[in-house]
Chains A and B, each alone.
Chain A
Amino acid sequence: MKIFVPVKRVVDYNVKVRVKSDGSGVDIANVKMSMNPFDEIAIEEAVRLKEKGVASEVVAVSCGAAQCQETLRTAMAIGADRAILVETTEELQPLAVAKLLKALMDKEAPQLVILGKQAIDDDCNQTGQMLAALLGWGQATFASKVEVADGKAVVTREVDGGLETLSLTLPAIVTTDLRLNEPRYVTLPNIMKAKKKVLDRVLPAELGVDVAPRIKTLKVSEPPKRSAGVKVADVATLVDKLRNEAKVI
């Protein structure tokens, strides 16, 4: 069984981003970039399925500029067998990415595509679901457990009131949530091996996809600032302030 894992290169989750003073966007020049944490979890899950003998091949794919190759090499260092870069410097939004991925999936015919549930830069939480719709496949989002057997994926999902378990016929889409697994540390030998693995490049035009954005960003601003708070000396003062100053109790 072949598993595809799309991965995105995003601003590292530890970085506290700054909004540019001209309001045109967030300043990401020279900030640390990393694989989207949820996508790391997706690669890890796919590799574990291969190690269990459920999958025979794990393919990583990323859509974006040439630097996304770094992210793909990381995916291969975690254990993906090969990678594909859909190369473009155009701004890519989830619908466009879903279309690019659909074109690839139509060619490659995997049984499972595992994606991160959302990218921590745009926080959209759309691509997996969109891809599932375009392919006409079932989906299980926010997965905290995945079991694959007998042509089905049984997935436990984290939902608002607790947990829910679904059974999907394959091929299907799964998106990962935080507790699905803890990704392994990438070892130096595996980083070296990854350099030799195959990384193919393809252009959006070759896939026949129009990637023009559908949503225009007019302005980016800082969120409203909270006024500075105070430290209170003891519980009595805290209760007094909550009761008489803030009037919330």
Chain B
Amino acid sequence: MTSLVIAEHDNASIRPATLNTVTAASQCGGEVHVLVAGSGAQAAAAAAAQIAGVAKVIHVEGEHFAHGLAENMAAQVIALAGSYSHILFPATASGKNIAPRVAALLDVGQVSDITKVDSPDTFERPIYAGNAIAIVQSLDSVKVITVRTTGFDAAPSTGGSAAIETQGAVADSGKSAFVGSEIAKSDRPELTAAKVIVSGGRALGSSEKFHEVLEPLADKLGAALGASRAAVDAGYAPNDWQVGQTGKIVAPQLYVAVGISGAIQHLAGMKDAKVIVAINKDAEAPIFGVADYGLEADLFTAVPELIAAL
């Protein structure tokens, strides 16, 4: 048995989601190899070689990997798939985009969003927006898996000394081309890795208020900022701040839900937080059903008070 983890990286470094995926891979049994396919990705490959528990890094170079296009990434994985028993991707936008292409090309099923490895062929995964947990067994000889990063600790990013092997790149599929992107840069911690998250709902009322009220609180707590679907739909926060069933899945030490009612789909994204605080003036808001500490108050008064008290 050997696992291949498809690294998520920015060519210069390895993204944290890869580390949790390496842990999942090591629990599947056997050696763990990491594929770094990119453009000018030598530094990322070197960083991957230092991850504890990684036996080998495969480095593939090509301009057509610069933006991680699924057609090219999947074709590359297939070219290397060889005798791997497990092929794992983090359940990030990128991993979710590529993994099923690999599974279909290998003619195997895919196990999405695993939260636990019970044995080399048996995994746990949430279904129905996390309202049920399924224990599933893959009947295929190759398991293609996406890993919910909040289900696994990050492997240490240093301590490993894997060999780096260079492999030739498959050709550009020519089916898709990168046109552009709008990726926000922030000094705040990344939402899926943050220890503290301050998250706002539609009650904030406007984009100005959303930022004006919540940013100082996030600053005080060293927190990342999240949002409910309603807040994003209303334009108060960017799409990549959305926490929920089909947005980001988070499990911070502390999740502060401000003016969020707590729809099923939102809870799916945050109910594994260690401590949940809810601030909402509606006593019946479903969020109070999961909150460890609920403050029934007007957020426009309570949040400034909270900032002052911290």
- A26 with B132, Cβ < 8 A, contacts A139-B71, A139-B176, A140-B176 known: yes
List, in ascending order, chain A residues with CB within 8 A of B233's CB.
178-179
B135 touches A158 (CB 8 A): no
A120 touches B133 (CB 8 A): no
A21 beta carbon closer than 8 Å to chain B: no
Best-buried of A38, A126, A162, A249 by chain B (most CB within 10 Å): A126
B306 touches A235 (CB 8 A): yes
A98 beta carbon closer than 8 Å to chain B: yes
List, in ascending order, chain B residues with CB within 8 A of A123's CB.
112-113, 126-129, 245
A196 beta carbon closer than 8 Å to chain B: no
List, in ascending order, chain A residues with CB within 8 A of B253's CB.
248
CB distance from A90 to the nearest CB of B (A): 14
List, in ascending order, chain A residues with CB within 8 A of B309's CB.
235-236, 239
A223 touches B136 (CB 8 A): no
List, in ascending order, chain B residues with CB within 8 A of A14's CB.
264
B100 contact from A13, A129, A242, A248, Cβ within 8 A: A129
List, in ascending order, chain B residues with CB within 8 A of A111's CB.
none
A190 beta carbon closer than 8 Å to chain B: no
Q: Give A248 to B271 CA distance when docked, in angstroms.
A: 16
List, in ascending order, chain B residues with CB within 8 A of A129's CB.
70, 97-101, 104
A215 touches B139 (CB 8 A): yes
B104 touches A130 (CB 8 A): yes
SS of B interface (majority):
mixed
B295 touches A166 (CB 8 A): no
A133 beta carbon closer than 8 Å to chain B: yes
B177 beta carbon closer than 8 Å to chain A: yes
- A223 with B184, Cβ < 8 A, contacts A139-B101, A165-B179, A238-B293 known: no
- A172 with B175, Cβ < 8 A, contacts A222-B132, A229-B291 known: yes
CB distance from B237 to the nearest CB of A (A): 12
A163 beta carbon closer than 8 Å to chain B: yes
Contact indicator per residue, chain A 112-124, by CB within 8 Å of chain B (1) or not (0): 0000011011111
B108 touches A95 (CB 8 A): yes
List, in ascending order, chain B residues with CB within 8 A of A232's CB.
293-295
B69 beta carbon closer than 8 Å to chain A: yes
A238 contact from B109, B182, B240, B295, Cβ within 8 A: B295
Q: How many B residues, CB 8 Å from partner? A: 88
List, in ascending order, chain A residues with CB within 8 A of B71's CB.
132, 138-139
B-contacting residues, A162-187, CB 8 Å:
162-169, 172, 177-179
- A11 with B196, Cβ < 8 A, contacts A133-B105, A249-B221 known: no
- A160 with B240, Cβ < 8 A, contacts A219-B134, A239-B310, A248-B254 known: yes
B275 touches A246 (CB 8 A): yes
- A218 with B100, Cβ < 8 A, contacts A95-B109, A239-B309 known: no
A166 touches B127 (CB 8 A): no
Q: Give A45 to B81 CA distance when docked, in angstroms.
A: 36
A159 touches B240 (CB 8 A): yes
CB distance from A100 to the nearest CB of B (A): 13
Q: Give A129 to B179 CA distance when docked, in angstroms.
A: 20
Closest A-chain residue to B229, C-beta based? A178
- A95 with B264, Cβ < 8 A, contacts A138-B175, A218-B137, A249-B254 known: no
A16 beta carbon closer than 8 Å to chain B: yes
B110 beta carbon closer than 8 Å to chain A: yes
B101 contact from A130, A177, A242, Cβ within 8 A: A130
Closest A-chain residue to B70, C-beta based? A139
Q: Give A98 to B100 CA distance when docked, in angstroms.
A: 11
Known: A214-B109, A217-B135, A246-B293. 5 other contacts (CB 8 A): A38-B246, A127-B100, A128-B100, A163-B181, A216-B137
- Top 9 A-B pairs ranked by shortest CB distance? A138-B175, A214-B109, A129-B100, A130-B104, A133-B104, A126-B100, A161-B183, A133-B101, A138-B176
